[in-house]
A and B are shown apart, each in its own frame.
Chain A
Amino acid sequence: MNSTIRNGLAALALAATAVAPAGAQQLTGAGATFPYPIYSKWFDVYHEKTGVAINYQSIGSGAGIQQVKAGTVDFGASDAALSDAALKDMPRRVVHIPTVGGAVVLAYNLPGFDGRIQLTPELVAGIYLGDITAWNDKRIAAANPGVTMPAAPILAVHRSDGSGTTNIFTLYLSSVSSRWKDVAGAATSVSWPSGVGGKGNDGVAGVVKQTPGAIGYVELAYAKQNQLPMAFVRNKAGKYVDPSAASVTAAMTGVAAQLAKDVRTPIVNSPAPEAWPISGLTFLIVYQDTKDAAKGLALARFLDWAIHDGQQYAGALGYAQLPEAIVKVNEGTLKLLTGGGKKLMAAANP
């Protein structure tokens, strides 16, 4: 009798798969987890507006790039830009389109302490190198005059899984500490000299939340959700800044000229006065020439919408909007997109 039930279910399933309804364009994309909330908002709004169904799954930046390479998706998303070597590995030419920016913050857990903590770049590097092991270390006290730091050991929490957040954070550490650059370098996963690893942003936030004395780097939204206090970090211009979407946008503006030349330029340690030093962009990775012209057109139209109308949704979800300068860079990139050899944007914007 159980075989009858099973047969029944199989028949149902088969019946349901009968004919695929021909309809509006469907696109598939995969990649980074960091922008998943805003992308899911965008695709939902866009679907309602135009009927185009864009299915995005956050399987990881690296996996997204692998899928673009394998041709199993129409676009990929990555928090880390592709290096020149990785670009050469791609079967055809790809372009990077930054969509939003994000802040990587240092969240900490010091029960009973409710002052503000200021950290210099050297302190951040020192903590993660394992040189500074207590909160009341003289060097931390020096950056926080008039504040009594608690005598607790520091537990530096990092990401155990590969991630764009780690990439941004280690890019920052490499640019402010040559020792860090030698010891560990910058990538989506590195060999951490000390500390403990948590899985995912939520894992790191969880560990910090539960462990007194812990400090960890997470995306802004996670620190906010877990109500973790965040350290103020001194930026290149010498100001102690507090992380926010606006300070990330400022960071982008500070590097606008370099971004115009190469959109993959890291925006960490930006010289702008209000810039948050540990900022990063997230990219959509697209083939410059799409074989399927209809899909290419749909994608180009969506990208155009995302960098203009889509930006209004960024702030509410904790992401930084692209400043005008970067939007212009993107518009330039979009003009390069072709479908089967013919330029797409001309058709998209009559």
Chain B
Amino acid sequence: MTAGAPTRDATMVTVRERTPDTRRRWSADDAFALALRLASLAVLAAVLLLIWQTWLGSRPAIQAYGLRFLTGTAWDPVAEKFGALPYVVGTLVTSGIALLLAVPFGIGAAVFLSEIAPPRTGAVIAFLIELLASIPSIVYGLWGVFVLAPFLRTLVEPWLIKHLGFLPLFQGFPFGLGILPAGLVLAIMVVPTVTSVTREILRALPDSLRGAALALGATRAEAIGVTLDAARPGILGAVILALGRALGETMAVTMLIGNTNHLSWSLLGPGATMASVIANEFTEAVGKLHLAALFEVALVLFLVTLVVNAAARLIVLAATGGRRDVAGAA
């Protein structure tokens, strides 16, 4: 049976039989579906255009360096030697730190706001947290340099060096600027995304879910656990959004990461990310190869984003067992 309107999914049924002697006419439903598809293609187009422009700009560098670009660690605009490995590592590490901190705290906060707090209070605090997404990243950077960095330099980093200094992760001189502060600020910047979206998802789940759990004798925390489980695919979506923001964040990271292209194990030392090196050097790059190398870093960032997102997708698939719809309760 071919329906006149496209089939949604298993739980949706549209009843429009096509009788053999009717010519298939373009229905309003088809027009609507087409409009939606075109909008989605716009998203595709945006990414393709971005990648195309980036690739165009990076051609001279691709020709000059080939694959050595990905494994090289030198970044010397004067000698025109460019290698992007330290930046790739820096991006992955800072985003990793950001997610490690933002996800548990963000979800915890979202749970509090939607399940535990009185509705009015929850709404107000959620509103405030959303607004914080609008603070320009340069303000986060300024705050980081003038408030966070001294705090880390005088209190946190010496403590880390003293107690966890046996790990290569925490060795070195307390600068206040470096990979750890950058990761921390990133975490603060992506937390509103995690919290807001998770809260919306939790609020959208039917009350019957919690009601049923509680009726069966669950404690409040256990009922929350049930809700979280139902919201899992959506929450993972929120986390991926947050990851995206962390990977591409420029200004605040640039101001805090200390900017060096030397690879080191220590989280307390300076580093650099792909986004930060582009932001730092793009507007001042005069040499053709220098500019092209920066474009190529952007291209590599796209590649990394592609790979990381593919991996995240696979994790989502595994976590939800392929199930994508949730809570069909009436």
Given contacts A161-B254, A187-B78, A210-B150, contact A196 B283 (CB under 8 A): no
How many of chain B's residues touch chain A, expressed as a range?
35 or more
Stretch at the interface among A55-63, A115-123, A314-322: A55-63
Structural contact, A190 and B286, CB atoms closer than 8 A: no
Structural contact, B280 and A190, CB atoms closer than 8 A: no
Contacts of A126 in B (CB 8 A): none
Structural contact, A191 and B78, CB atoms closer than 8 A: yes
Given contacts A191-B78, A192-B260, contact A162 B270 (CB under 8 A): no
Q: How far is the CB of A283 from chain B (nearest CB, A)?
A: 13
Contacts of B176 in A (CB 8 A): 210-211
Contacts of A203 in B (CB 8 A): 145, 255
Residue of B nearest to A210 (CB): B150
Structural contact, A82 and B286, CB atoms closer than 8 A: yes
B175, B283, B286: residue with the most chain A Cβ atoms closer than 10 Å: B286
Q: How far is the CB of B31 from chain A (nearest CB, A)?
A: 20
Contacts of B260 in A (CB 8 A): 192, 196-197
B13 within 8 A of A: no
List B residues 265-281 near A (Cβ within 8 Å): 270, 272, 276, 279-281
Measured CA separation A185–B77 after assembly (Å): 9
Measured CA separation A164–B52 after assembly (Å): 31
Q: How many inter-chain residue pairs (CB < 8 Å) link A and B?
A: 106
Structural contact, A191 and B261, CB atoms closer than 8 A: yes
A206 within 8 A of B: yes
Per a CB cutoff under 8 Å, which of B141, B149, B276, B281 touches A189?
A: B281
Structural contact, A199 and B283, CB atoms closer than 8 A: no
A300 within 8 A of B: no
A82, A83, A160, A162: residue with the most chain B Cβ atoms closer than 10 Å: A160
Given contacts A197-B258, A197-B260, contact A162 B79 (CB under 8 A): no
Structural contact, A190 and B77, CB atoms closer than 8 A: yes
Structural contact, B286 and A191, CB atoms closer than 8 A: no
Structural contact, A63 and B78, CB atoms closer than 8 A: no
Given contacts A160-B254, A160-B258, contact A63 B75 (CB under 8 A): no
Top 7 A-B pairs, shortest CB-CB distance:
A162-B284, A60-B283, A160-B259, A197-B259, A185-B78, A161-B280, A63-B283
Q: A188-B285, A191-B79, A196-B258 are in contact. List 17 more A-B contacts (CB 8 A).
A: A61-B283, A61-B284, A65-B286, A82-B286, A160-B280, A161-B281, A161-B283, A162-B281, A164-B284, A186-B78, A197-B259, A197-B260, A198-B177, A199-B259, A203-B255, A210-B153, A211-B153
